[in-house]
Amino acid sequence: MLRHLKKTAPDHGFIPVELSLADITEDEKEYLIKAELPEMKKEDVKVTVENGVLTISGERKFEKEEKKKKYHRVERGYGTFMRSFALPDDADFNKVNAEFKNGVLMVRVPKSEHAQPKQIEVKVA
């Protein structure tokens, strides 16, 4: 199973972005990471794989402050974020696929061909 390595969110004067809502599932063909990134654009999100570690990073920019608006509270996080996961040995690093839709990032990490179960036919001699 995927192991969480680190989660960082440097302080930029606002409440930092936390990428804490991520689900990781597995089936016989792949691992799937779903991360919630509401109100973000795909251009602001980056997914990399290096040395067996998958990293999701990006930046949520603060909305343009309007002079006529009076802000009573700002609780949503802004700034840069990064979260890394150690990939298991059976992951095929070269076929990782990421899709961003409706504020949810879905990263699919296929299992390598040799790691998938294979049924062997037993012959009668």
What phi-psi label fits residue 103: left (phi over 0), alpha (psi between -120 and 50 degrees) or beta? left
- Evaluate if residue 57 carries a pLDDT over 50: yes
Query: Residue 20's pLDDT is what?
Result: 60
SS3 97: strand
Please write the tens of the pLDDT for every residue from 103-112.
Answer: 899 999 999 8
Q: Whole-angstrom Cα distance, residue 71 to residue 6?
A: 32
- Evaluate if residue 100 carries a pLDDT over 80: yes
Backbone torsions φ then ψ of 44, nearest 5 degrees: -95, 5
CA-to-CA dists, residue 54 to 3, 8, 12, 61, 74, angstroms: 10, 14, 25, 23, 31
Query: Residue 6's pLDDT is what?
Result: 46
Please write the tens of the pLDDT for every residue from 35-44.
Answer: 988 888 889 9
